[in-house]
A and B are shown apart, each in its own frame.
Chain A
Amino acid sequence: MRLTVSEKQIGGLLPAFLNVDAFLNITALGPGIARHLPHVRIGMPCDEAFSILNFETAQFFREGPEIRPVQLISRVGDLPLSGAAVFHEGGCLLAVRFALSEKIFADGSMDLSDFGFADTGMLSTMLIALQRAMLEESQATAIESCDTKRNAVRIVRNAQAASPAIWRMISTTCCQ
């Protein structure tokens, strides 16, 4: 079976994808690349924009499996990307995503639009933040109920300590 998927559709699934021809020149790029690495342009040699960590550039298209893991780092901005190199007749689809670190998640430099719909890394990072928030709220509840208990004990103690005086007051008022 052969599927035809448009560039836009690939961009929805993998916003940081790149496609290169047999000479390693960039022929297509995803919206995430356009947003965060605006200097990267179609026609540019891929290794001018990125260092390809686990491939010798000269042997990029050597014989081997059709799909291989790939890691890139942008030469400007040091943004790491990882995923798969999918070799096809016309070149290679670099099906990569931005590496999502705690820092990137917290500093607001990227957002959900930079990650694909089915990106499990992004989903689990969000999940961790949500669970942390739920934990914080549960801790706050525990502290509040401890405080309430402590206040109640204090009131009972004060009442006990004050009771002889209160009793004396009540009995004198009532007996008058």
Chain B
Amino acid sequence: MYGMIHRAMRNMVHEELGEDAWLALEQKLKIGPMDLLTGKVYGDALTLGIITEAADRLNLAVDQCLIEFGRYWIRYVDQGSLASVMNFTGQDLASFIKNLDRLHLAVGAAMPDARLPAFSTLCNDPGHLVVEYRSERVGLEPFVLGLLQGLMERFHARGDIEVLSRGEKFVIFDIRYQDRD
């Protein structure tokens, strides 16, 4: 994945455990600042290696760490110049999710080697969304769950997310929520 993702992982470990924990992780994986370059693509094995080591240090199972990283990613991209991109994507949970592919279309133009996911809204009723996630990658279901939780937090919504079904390349999420007003 692009180094932007690795930088976000580093920031999460920094915030949770401090710089020394990250430096120890770098030492264990024999990586350094050259493995965190925003605009460079790294093998997914390295990305997974970082997440696995981070999980170990945070005392979490890898899947739980992926959920936490998903939630963290939403806070991470809500800062600096990316905040305007996030704000422009949608002003409520349903329209934001509906526009996710258009957001990633722009990401793909800026980062041409990205292998981006596809999201489609299969049902959009008040307080109820059914969202299909499709990807070339496997094993990112917990990450997407964390992202969706992060989006609910971002839009001050409360509710539950369940998996309705999953296949080799897709997962269908059922989101029932209430706007917290």
For chain B, the bracket of interface size reads 20 to 34
Size of the A side of the interface (Cβ < 8 Å), in residues, is: 24
In the assembled complex, the CB of A137 is this many whole angstroms from the nearest CB of chain B, namely: 4
Quick check: is B4 within 8 A (CB to CB) of the other chain? yes
In the assembled complex, the CB of B150 is this many whole angstroms from the nearest CB of chain A, namely: 18
Q: Are A134 and B106 in contact (CB under 8 A)?
A: no
A103-141 vs B, Cβ < 8 Å mask (1 yes, 0 no): 001101011110001000001001101111110111001
Q: Are A141 and B38 in contact (CB under 8 A)?
A: yes
In whole angstroms, what is the CA distance A105 to B87 when docked?
A: 8
Q: Are A112 and B39 in contact (CB under 8 A)?
A: no
The residue that A133 contacts in the complex, of B80, B90, B109, with Cβ under 8 A, is B80
Residue from the set A105, A111, A127, A131 with the largest chain B CB neighbour count within 10 Å:
A111
Q: Are B98 and A113 in contact (CB under 8 A)?
A: yes
Quick check: is B37 within 8 A (CB to CB) of the other chain? yes
Can you list 8 pairs linking A and B with CB atoms under 8 Å apart? A112-B99, A112-B103, A127-B109, A129-B81, A130-B82, A141-B36, A144-B33, A148-B33
Q: Which secondary structure dominates chain B's binding surface?
A: helix
Other CB < 8 Å A-B pairs besides A129-B81, A133-B82, A137-B38, 20 of them?
A111-B88, A112-B88, A113-B99, A117-B102, A123-B109, A126-B103, A127-B106, A129-B82, A129-B84, A133-B81, A133-B85, A134-B38, A136-B80, A136-B81, A138-B38, A141-B7, A141-B38, A144-B33, A145-B33, A148-B33
In whole angstroms, what is the CA distance A129 to B4 when docked?
A: 15
A-chain residues with CB within 8 Å of residue B81 when the two chains form the complex: 129-130, 132-133, 136
Quick check: is B91 within 8 A (CB to CB) of the other chain? yes
Q: Are B38 and A108 in contact (CB under 8 A)?
A: no
Q: Are B33 and A126 in contact (CB under 8 A)?
A: no
A-chain residues with CB within 8 Å of residue B7 when the two chains form the complex: 137, 141
B-chain residues with CB within 8 Å of residue A129 when the two chains form the complex: 81-82, 84-85, 88
Q: Are A126 and B80 in contact (CB under 8 A)?
A: no
Q: Are B99 and A137 in contact (CB under 8 A)?
A: no
Known A111-B91, A113-B95, A148-B33; judge A130-B38 contact (CB<8 A): no
Residue from the set A106, A112, A141, A145 with the largest chain B CB neighbour count within 10 Å:
A112
B99-143 vs A, Cβ < 8 Å mask (1 yes, 0 no): 100110111011100000000000000000000000000000000
- A100's nearest neighbour on chain B, judged by CB, is B88
Within 8 A of A (CB), among B56-99: 80-82, 84-85, 87-91, 95, 98-99
Closest 3 pairs (CB-CB, A-B)? A126-B106, A133-B81, A137-B38
Q: Are B87 and A130 in contact (CB under 8 A)?
A: no
In the assembled complex, the CB of A124 is this many whole angstroms from the nearest CB of chain B, namely: 8
B-chain residues with CB within 8 Å of residue A112 when the two chains form the complex: 88-90, 95, 99, 102-103
In the assembled complex, the CB of B152 is this many whole angstroms from the nearest CB of chain A, namely: 18
The residue that B87 contacts in the complex, of A108, A123, A127, A133, with Cβ under 8 A, is A108
